[in-house]
Amino acid sequence: MDAVVVEHLQRSFRVNRQKEGFWAKLRGLIKRESETIHAVKDVSFRIEKGEMVGFLGPNGAGKTTTLKLLSGLLMPTAGKATVLGYEPWKRENAYRRRFSLLMGQKNQLWWDLPAQESFRLHKEIYRIETKRYQDRMDELTDLLEIRKQLSQPVRELSLGQRMRMELIAALLHDPEILFLDEPTIGLDVISQNKVQQFLKYYQEHKQITVLLTSHYMKDVEALCKRVIIIDEGIIKHDGLLTDVLSQLNPQKVVTLKFSEHVESTQLSEYGDIIEQSPMTVKIRLGKADIPGVLSYALAEYPVEDVSVQDRPIEELFAELFSRRQTTEEETRAAVASM
């Protein structure tokens, strides 16, 4: 059964443009120049109950706008969507009790108060029974290993501790759907790993539906089997992450470690050398070329160790989005020169 159904969703904004200079500003008081920004142009997808989906795209692609539409914070310009059978922008209380939106760049906890005070406020807002509230607090604080910090003012917590508190606030009322917008932004590696492990465990055991946006691709790789890629407000891909990676990644990185110094190699004839030192060579190769290159290297050089790895997922997506941006810039330049 589908938890989220989105059909041809659109959202546009009118933005005033103001030129520099006194007279330009004065003219702007009489006649303002504006343009329409299409943040979400034509978005359609479905998410089944209990599914965790990665929502990817470059800055300005329309990810956060889509989440705000599904949370009822924005009204669509056109199109329709239902979440658990509700139209989000009607903002019905019955719907608001069944979902949660967590934005890594926005705080929902009172800055100068201990997090437990904000949690008590959430208890009253969502009308959570006392026993259920205490059970939820015990469960979440233990899973996130944050019980000792409950009485500290939020401003005194580290960024990783604050994000774990934000997760408790988002999950306290036991939502069926969780919208996550950059939940690990700015966190150190240890905190990122803790958040990832918690989300994976919680989603598997509670079977909640999760739509996750992140620029930290290891979040997506660790948590999501399916990804939706959006760019310029339009869905570019919807499918398994492994399918995306196989399309983007026809090459692998082969690392050769030598038992003694090697002054130079002829391996550049076979692929792109990424890194080279007297004891190590990293080379990017097509998958079909790997057996032949390894046979040659083992015969010609004192190879001590070999490893074959996929290219980092961050590198692949960075290339994908930068390639699209370059293509767009070339198109604009060609049109301008006509």
| Residue where a domain stops, chosen among 246, 275, 302 | 246
Going by C-beta distance under 8 Å and a sequence separation of 6 or more, which residues neighbour residue 237? 227, 228, 229, 244
Tell me, yes or no, if the pTM score tops 0.85: no
- 239 with 92, same domain? yes
Q: How confident is the model at residue 328 (pLDDT cuts 50, 70, 90)?
A: very low
- 223 with 259, same domain? no
Which tens digit of pLDDT belongs to each residue from 6-19? Answer: 999 999 988 777 77
Q: Which residue has the higher pLDDT, 55 or 35?
A: 55
In a domain, 19, yes or no: no
- 260 with 196, same domain? no
- 77 with 223, same domain? yes
Going by C-beta distance under 8 Å and a sequence separation of 6 or more, which residues neighbour residue 276? 265, 282
- 113 with 258, same domain? no
In a domain, 317, yes or no: no
- 213 with 283, same domain? no
- Give the domain CATH number at 68: 3.40.50.300
- 201 with 96, same domain? yes
**3-class secondary-structure state, position 234:** strand
- 233 with 270, same domain? no
Neighbouring C-beta atoms of residue 266, cutoff 10 Å? 10
pLDDT reported for residue 324: 56
Helices (H), 175-240: 189-206, 217-223
pLDDT score of 332 more than 70: no
Which tens digit of pLDDT belongs to each residue from 219-246? Answer: 888 899 999 999 888 998 899 988 877 7
Structurally, the chain folds into a number of domains equal to 2
In a domain, 230, yes or no: yes
- 195-203: long-range contacts (C-beta < 8 A, 24 or more apart)? 195/160, 195/163, 195/164, 195/167, 196/222, 196/223, 198/143, 198/144, 198/164, 198/167, 199/223, 201/143, 202/143, 202/171, 203/52
Which tens digit of pLDDT belongs to each residue from 133-183? Answer: 999 999 999 999 999 999 999 999 999 999 999 999 999 999 999 999 999
Q: What token pair was written down for 201?
A: 């465990």
- 154 with 193, same domain? yes
- 94 with 131, same domain? yes
Distance of CA 64 to the CA centre of its chain: 10
- Give the domain CATH number at 265: 3.30.70.250
Identify the domain containing residue 291 by its residue range.
250-310
- 7 with 64, same domain? yes
pLDDT score of 326 more than 60: no
Say which DSSP state 293 is in. Answer: H
